[in-house]
Amino acid sequence: MQALSQILAITAVNVRSIPQRLGSSIVAIVGIAGVVVVFVAVLSIAQGFRAAMTTAGDPRTAIVMRAGTDSELSSILMREHTQLVKDAPGLAQGPDGPVASAELFVIVNHPKRSTGSDANVPLRGVEPGAFAVRPRLRMVEGRPFQPGRNEIIVGRAAAGQFTGLEVGRDVRWGENVWKVVGVFEADGAISESEIWCDARVLQGAYRRGDSFQSVYVQLEREDGLEAFKAALAADPRLNVMAQRETDYLAEQSTVLQTIIRTIGFVIAGLMGIGAVFGAINTMYNAVASRTREIATLRALGFGALSIVASVMAESAVLALIGGIAGGLLAWGVFDGYRTSTMNFQSFSQVAFAFRVTPALLVQGLACALVMGFLGGILPAIRAARLPIVNALREL
Amino acid sequence: MKYLHLVWRGLLRRKLRTLFTALSIFIAFLLFGALMALRVAFGMGVDLAGQDRLVMIQKVSFIQPLPLSYMNRIAATPGVSGVTHSSWFGGIYQDPKNFFAQFAVDPESWLAMYPEYVLPDAQKQAWFADRTGAVVGRALADRFGWKVGDRVPLRGTIWRTADDAPWTFTIDGIYEAGTKGTDTTQFFFHYAYFNETRTFGKDLTGWYVVRVADPRQSEDVAARLDALFANSSSETKTSTEKAFVQAFAKQIGDIGSILMAILAAVLFTILLVAANTMAQAVRERTNELAIMKTLGFGDGQLLGLVLMESVMLAVIGGGAGLLVAWLITQQGDPTGGLLPAFFLPTRDLVLGVGLIVALGIAAGLLPAWQAGRLRIVDALRRQG
């Protein structure tokens, strides 16, 4: 009990004296805040990208592609195969038969707003069932395209990242002119990065014959994937594989996520080490400038533990201030920042927003406290071990 | 230089503090090196692109193929001194995670177009003669332990053989990097074999690479080539290799510039830390400096001494950091094939050295100026 009141008393004195050592305290705070900004900002990129790739979300949606392919881009299915997939047992039934959409996925060159240079924009040809398969998708502007016509609808994120995709405008890719007739949203999912049109029109425009690349289906039951897979495997006319859409997208996002996370952790880690050195210096200074005070306290009967605890507490306070400042800065600057980047697995653009989540902020703060602890521990021990007599004599 | 010893003793005055300051500068320049290498990597090696090479892709989308018949018409175009073509294969070796780039090319014209892929003559001839042969980059060969003569099966994801068996290639050669940063993670094989074995898409190719006789005319030649195929079923878009790589790199987006902003923040933070430490070191020594003045050291000399101490600290810490960063980037791409152009350019090394000196001067300037202006009497009277 006595130790606790001692700790509190000395800590209060220490913390109140921080303004006197403002210069070096600010250095420690800035250093720690810097690390937290870097840490939170870089991971918010990975977080936002992951969110865009995985919020497609409906566990009943599955995607069927040719066996052995790693992305829609490299898959090929002929119409008769897509028909067999749609007739397989286990699919949800809508008013017009199975809830499914055979789709064709290509990439078109289209200029990006931010750089003005061409980027690979995903263009997806879909069947009327596409909306039923993706229940969260809805038109927010204009109307859906009419089958058989050169009309496109664009995802909200794509409309923001690429030029000239407003409703009513015409865009030209090669020999084809397309009219933008609507904009759709999908709760921030990857579909919002895409442009959609009628699959049959796209087949003609890209000379794909009567071929598709994938079939999106809605399963009758959430746990129906295994049975559906088995039914497809049992059909000798088919050589396809089925995956849950969420699994497929998670797989598609691994490469970029790994790169971002690795870079983020390495930079933040290295910088963290640098900031700890800064904090150590600051705390050593704090101890050195109060050598006589500390010795006096010891002579008065304050315990070594109280001294250690008070130095650590000061370090923690500095770290906390730095951590909060860094977190707020990262949140203010980066949260919601919209950008797009290329997903290496599909060679096409994914538009997404950085996401500074509460969990990231907590992690950043935890990081800051660890740095404060590491920065304080050596100086604290040194303070506690000062020989009282020598210290009192010191100028 | 006769004061070197004095400066050194100054640094050793508070060993721990000097050590920690040097370590934080070390970290700063380690990061600097790593970020500069990343910048090159995210730029996809724009600086390495050939000055005299053009890339021709299908106008609407680079995933759309071009007819093989364009080859002769391109070669016959005025201003063109060479042409070759390449097709993306996208096969899987053992596991989809083992990603590396594979291309079907026309061997002789391909190697003539890219002199930076250096291959012994015997291996070249062997490859030309072997229809199912392939050449691979050094980094790729090392990654999988491949030797010349090994047989490598690839499972096609886009392109299939008639019976869907794996494609099998014999490694006829391993190419080395002719210039710094050359991508040695690629796999090249015969287009002829590819074209006759695949089940669809025959006589189409992915893109053309064109050499222009005079690099100053590349814009004109590009325009001429695109005009040649305008209004055909496969219109083309031709640009210099540099512009092509740049456009590709831009697609990765703002992430590169965000990294650069982070670097600036890091350097600024470290500068603060170092400057603060230097200032403290001088303040503590006010008495000493006053005594030195009494002994006859001039203002300029004191200023120089303090500045030298600061620069020395920066050089020790920063130099070591830069050296370690250089050693690390010598290992090449840390991601295993995703960032092939990962190295620290000499230009950035020089920039780093300049920054180190600038940091030392900036951090030492204020305390050095204060030291130079000390009045002896005041300084001697002051306690601590």
Q: Which of B20, B96, B335 sits opposite A281 (nearest CB)?
A: B20
**Pairs across A and B, CB distance < 8 A:** 156
| A265 close to B (CB below 8 A) | no
pLDDT digits (tens, 9 = 90+) for B217-253: 888 999 999 999 988 878 888 988 888 887 777 777 6
| B155 close to A (CB below 8 A) | yes
Residue B312 pLDDT exceeds 70: yes
For residue A182, what are the β-bridge partners?
A142, A153
> What is the distance between the alpha carbons of residues B169 and B196, in angstroms, rounded to a whole number?
15
Chain B residue numbers with beta carbons less than 8 Å from the beta carbon of A69 are: 157-158
pLDDT, one tens digit for every residue, chain A (395 residues): 677 888 888 888 777 877 877 877 887 888 888 888 888 888 888 888 888 887 766 788 899 998 877 788 878 889 999 999 999 888 888 888 899 999 998 888 898 888 788 888 999 999 988 888 988 888 999 999 999 999 999 999 899 889 989 999 999 887 789 999 999 998 878 888 899 999 999 998 887 888 899 999 999 888 888 999 999 999 888 889 999 888 888 888 887 788 778 877 887 788 888 888 878 887 887 787 778 888 888 888 888 888 888 888 888 999 999 999 999 999 998 888 888 887 777 778 888 888 899 999 999 999 999 989 998 888 888 888 878 777 777 65
Chain B residue numbers with beta carbons less than 8 Å from the beta carbon of A275 are: 24, 269
DSSP string covering B124-139? HHHHHH-TTEEEEEHH
ipTM of the modeled complex: 0.72
More confident residue, B50 or A207: A207
Contact A109 B16 (CB under 8 A): no
| B276 close to A (CB below 8 A) | yes
Tokens of B333: 């791409």
> What is the distance between the alpha carbons of residues B159 and B280, in angstroms, rounded to a whole number?
68
Residue B384 pLDDT exceeds 50: no
**Predicted local confidence at residue B253, as pLDDT:** 67
What H or E segment, with its residue span, contains residue B180?
Answer: none
**Predicted local confidence at residue A154, as pLDDT:** 94
Residue of A nearest to B275 (CA): A27
Instruction: Give residue for tokens 């079939």.
Output: A215
- The answer to pTM > 0.80 is no
DSSP state at residue A336: T
Contact A259 B338 (CB under 8 A): yes
**Predicted local confidence at residue B38, as pLDDT:** 80
For testing the chain A interface, which of B27, B200, B207, B380 should be mutated: the one with the most A CBs within 10 Å?
B27
Chain B residue numbers with beta carbons less than 8 Å from the beta carbon of A271 are: 27, 31, 266, 269
pLDDT digits (tens, 9 = 90+) for A288-317: 777 888 888 888 888 888 888 888 888 899
Residue of B nearest to A68 (CA): B157
pLDDT digits (tens, 9 = 90+) for B288-310: 778 888 888 888 888 888 888 88
Mean local confidence (pLDDT), B65-82: 92
More confident residue, A180 or B50: A180
Radius of gyration in angstroms for the set of CA atoms belonging to chain B, rounded to a whole number: 29
Chain A residue numbers with beta carbons less than 8 Å from the beta carbon of B254 are: 114, 339, 341
Tokens of A113: 């707003």
DSSP string covering B81-127? EEEEEEEE--EESSSTTS--EEEEE-HHHHHHH-TTEE--HHHHHHH
- The closest of B243, B247, B240 to B52, measured between CA atoms, is B240
Residue of B nearest to A73 (CA): B158
Provide the shortest C-alpha distance from residue A395 to chain B (in Å). 7
> What is the distance between the alpha carbons of residues A239 and A66, in angstroms, rounded to a whole number?
6
Contact B262 A45 (CB under 8 A): no
| A73 close to B (CB below 8 A) | yes
Contact assessment for residue B171 and residue B135, using Cβ atoms and an 8 Å cutoff:
yes
pLDDT digits (tens, 9 = 90+) for B119-134: 999 999 999 999 999 9
Q: Which of A68, A277, A395 sits opposite B383 (nearest CB)?
A: A395
Contact assessment for residue A73 and residue A199, using Cβ atoms and an 8 Å cutoff:
no
Residue of B nearest to A267 (CA): B31
Q: Which of B235, B237, B253 sits opposite A341 (nearest CB)?
A: B253
**Predicted local confidence at residue A206, as pLDDT:** 81
**Predicted local confidence at residue B210, as pLDDT:** 94
For residue B238, what are the β-bridge partners?
B56
| A365 close to B (CB below 8 A) | no
